[in-house]
């Protein structure tokens, strides 16, 4: 007997709502282990999602343009039953042959909850279940919740036990579905226009009366990202959740409840429906003053730039921005609006360190690496961050506490044909100049070839942006939130410097330090650059 296995999006880091830019398989395709299924594109790079098992594609559940996150269903794959064996110690009773298929039933989307304990298993092997029949009961820190069956069929084996902790995507049981039961659970309509909250008066049936067209779905006042962030905050019992599903109500929109500890009760759901029906519902996120997050510019009091028809002034060519530039632009705009930026400019005398760099060039070449000034800048920056820990920190979500980081991961902005990407070099303080040079070269190559993985662009504490190979004397880099500072460097130049007796030619490197003024003040910024300049002027100080 074949097994229909669900293939879900694996761990892709902290990315959510990632775009599917290509689906590589179709129904009926025979695929091998590690065969690419889809291609995702983040704001930094493209990545393939491979198949964990071999089999035949039976149903594809997404299409190009869909936005997905970890745990989302990609497709159904028919594999040999031996791929999933029953757990040791579990013996399923014989199940009558139905000629159907074995389906995996997994924990659905339960919001941001993870490792939720199983407090009750409602079914046993051999039981016949219908769609929406409760299978297990989970207990979160807020309430108990039923996990219903998405299919009808006969339970073949239970894949968990009481006390197990489960998360979205974990396997609950194997279900043998008959041919007539293979239809998945229908989606409830997202409309409230046909709901009557009071007693219903039956109307006489008319043979010739056409059925009214379905009402259009109500627009949600929340974006997908807002709903994802609120999903874990819903505090309601299983019966209220079922009641809300029957009405097509998204409980994430019923922000607060009138029950104990803010629990949503039946009256809250009914009141919400009445408000939507009467047009008086107003989302808290839209009602707040001085908005932010993902709200349109108008909600933040910023007038939009009026559109201009440039073609009336002469010939034009419309060239779409790359995806990296579009997504990076949104991130930079958010950072610029939310962070009070200040930029401090200084210079570092790198005459001696550059001479030392050139002296080790042959040794580096023998090691297969190229030592650049950026390697020394990374090492000196790591030492400066230890001296001034406020620069190796982030504000918490409420902006009232400073999170000091005990590790030193530094991001380096890399110029690619599609825009800037920022791979992160980890534990810079613990690595030699040669190791840092090798990692810089490797990550830069991967960035230009769009081969960076999500984990290679996360966890940065501080960012370096170097324009030294191009030119310039200074610029104002934008802080890479949630970091609190970023260092920009431009082209070094030979300048005359007074040594107390005479002017001598010295190689000076311009430094441009942008910082979050909520965390760092001007005096701290000046001290940081003085410390950094001192380390670059005499690299022996790195040994102190």
Catalytic residue numbers, as ranges: 517
From 212, 103, 86, select the one nearest 152 (Cα to Cα). 103
CA distance 170 to 327: 32
Q: Does residue 373 sit in helix, strand or coil?
A: helix
Quick check: 171 and 159 in contact, CB under 8 A? yes
What number of helices (H) and strands (E) belong to the chain? 10, 27
CA distance 143 to 237: 6
From 89, 22, 16, 80, select the one nearest 49 (Cα to Cα). 22
For 105-152, the three-class secondary structure string (H helix, E strand, C coil) is EECCCCCCCCCEEEEEECCCCCCEECCCCEEEEEECCCCEEEEECCCC
In order of 22, 29, 50, 51, 220, the CA distances from 75 in angstroms are 14, 12, 12, 10, 27
**Residue keyed to tokens 């050139």:** 358
CA distance 25 to 177: 25
Number of Cβ within 10 Å of residue 513's Cβ equals 22
In order of 115, 169, 182, 279, 496, the CA distances from 166 in angstroms are 5, 8, 25, 40, 67
Pairing of strands 116-121, 165-166: antiparallel
């Amino acid at each position: 007997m074949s097994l229909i296995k669900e293939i879900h999006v694996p761990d892709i880091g902290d990315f959510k709502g990632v775009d599917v830019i290509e689906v590589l398989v179709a129904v009926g395709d025979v695929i091998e282990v590690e065969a690419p299924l889809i291609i995702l594109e983040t704001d930094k790079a493209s990545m393939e999602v491979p198949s964990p098992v071999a089999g035949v594609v039976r149903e594809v559940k997404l299409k190009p343009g869909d936005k997905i996150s970890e745990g989302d269903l990609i497709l159904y794959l028919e594999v040999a039953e031996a791929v999933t064996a029953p757990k040791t110690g579990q013996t399923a009773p014989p199940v009558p042959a139905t000629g159907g298929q074995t389906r995996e039933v997994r924990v659905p989307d339960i919001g941001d909850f993870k490792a939720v304990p199983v407090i009750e298993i409602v079914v046993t092997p051999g039981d016949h279940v219908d769609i929406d029949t409760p299978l297990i009961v989970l207990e979160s820190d807020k309430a108990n919740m039923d996990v219903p069956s998405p299919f009808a069929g006969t339970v073949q084996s239970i894949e968990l036990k009481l006390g197990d902790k489960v998360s979205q995507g974990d396997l609950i049981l194997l279900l043998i579905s008959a041919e007539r039961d293979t239809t998945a659970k229908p989606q409830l309509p997202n409309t409230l226009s046909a709901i009557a909250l009071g007693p219903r008066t039956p109307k006489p049936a008319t043979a010739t009366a056409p059925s009214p067209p379905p009402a259009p779905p109500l627009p949600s006042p929340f974006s997908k990202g807002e709903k994802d962030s609120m999903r874990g905050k819903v505090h309601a019992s299983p019966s209220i959740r079922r009641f809300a599903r029957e009405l097509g109500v998204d409980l994430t929109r019923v922000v607060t409840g009138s029950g104990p500890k803010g629990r949503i009760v039946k009256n809250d759901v009914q009141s919400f429906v009445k408000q939507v029906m009467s047009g008086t519902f107003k989302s808290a996120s839209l009602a707040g003053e001085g908005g932010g997050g993902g709200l349109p510019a108008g909600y933040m009091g910023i007038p939009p730039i009026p559109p201009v028809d440039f073609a009336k002034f002469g010939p034009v060519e419309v060239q779409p921005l790359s995806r990296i530039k579009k997504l990076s632009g949104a991130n930079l705009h958010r950072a610029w609006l939310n962070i009070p930026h200040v930029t401090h400019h200084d210079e570092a005398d790198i005459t001696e360190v550059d001479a030392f760099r050139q002296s080790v060039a042959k040794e580096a070449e023998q090691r297969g690496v190229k030592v650049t000034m950026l390697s020394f800048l990374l090492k000196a920056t790591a030492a400066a961050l230890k001296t001034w820990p406020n620069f190796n920190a982030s504000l918490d979500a409420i902006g009232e506490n400073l999170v000091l980081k005990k590790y030193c991961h530094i991001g380096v902005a890399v110029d690619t044909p599609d825009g800037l990407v920022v791979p992160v070099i980890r534990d810079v303080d613990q690595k030699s100049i040669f190791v840092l040079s090798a990692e810089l070269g490797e990550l830069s190559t991967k960035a230009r070839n769009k081969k960076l993985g999500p984990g290679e662009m996360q966890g940065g504490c501080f960012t370096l942006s170097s324009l030294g190979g191009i030119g310039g004397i200074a610029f104002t880099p934008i802080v890479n939130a949630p970091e609190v500072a970023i260092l920009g460097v431009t082209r070094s130049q030979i300048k005359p410097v007074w040594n107390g007796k005479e002017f001598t030619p010295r190689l000076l490197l311009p430094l441009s330090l942008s910082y979050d003024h909520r965390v760092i003040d001007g005096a701290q910024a000046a001290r940081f650059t003085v410390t950094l300049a001192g380390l670059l002027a005499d690299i022996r100080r790195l040994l102190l």
